[in-house]
Amino acid sequence: MPGIDFALVRRQVSLTQVLELVGFTATTRRGPQLRGPCPVHGSAPRSRSFAAHLQKHCWHCFGCGAGGNALDLYLAVTKLPVYDGALELCARLGVDAPRRHHSAGDSPARIAPPTCRRAARTTAGPRSPP
């Protein structure tokens, strides 16, 4: 079964496109950074708990603690699994979902790697003291 090249989806889809899809309305803008209510947990309309940095292609909510890239935002708002969410996001944006053919030896971690530093730290095991 062909998988989805999630890294390519992340490169093809911009944070601006996903913010428009989820109906985000910024209350303030400072350069490339937008602030406003969190579309993930639904904070108050005038809230600024959600920050999206358009040049860094990442977002973070200081209220609920969620954060990540454009695909992560779409998945958090729609509450879809990564495979289904990536397919739906590509379809809504009119982009062909990039397919990746993998062999039986590929692990799920290689197909859908963690997208944020926190996930990478938790899957890498304990850190050794300096």
pLDDT given for residue 80 in this prediction? 93
Q: With beta carbons less than 8 A apart as the criterion, state whether 66 and 41 touch.
A: yes
Whether pLDDT at 114 is above 50? no
pTM of the model: 0.72
pLDDT given for residue 7 in this prediction? 86
pLDDT category of residue 99 using cuts at 50, 70 and 90: confident
Query: Could you tell me where the DSSP H helices lie in the chain?
Result: 6-12, 15-21, 70-78, 82-93, 108-111, 117-123
Provide the token pair at 107. 């692990």
pLDDT in tens, 34-66: 999 999 888 777 778 899 999 999 999 998 899
Nearest to 82 by CA among 20, 1, 3: 3
For the domain made up of 3-99+109-123, give the CATH fold. DNA Primase; Chain A (3.90.580)
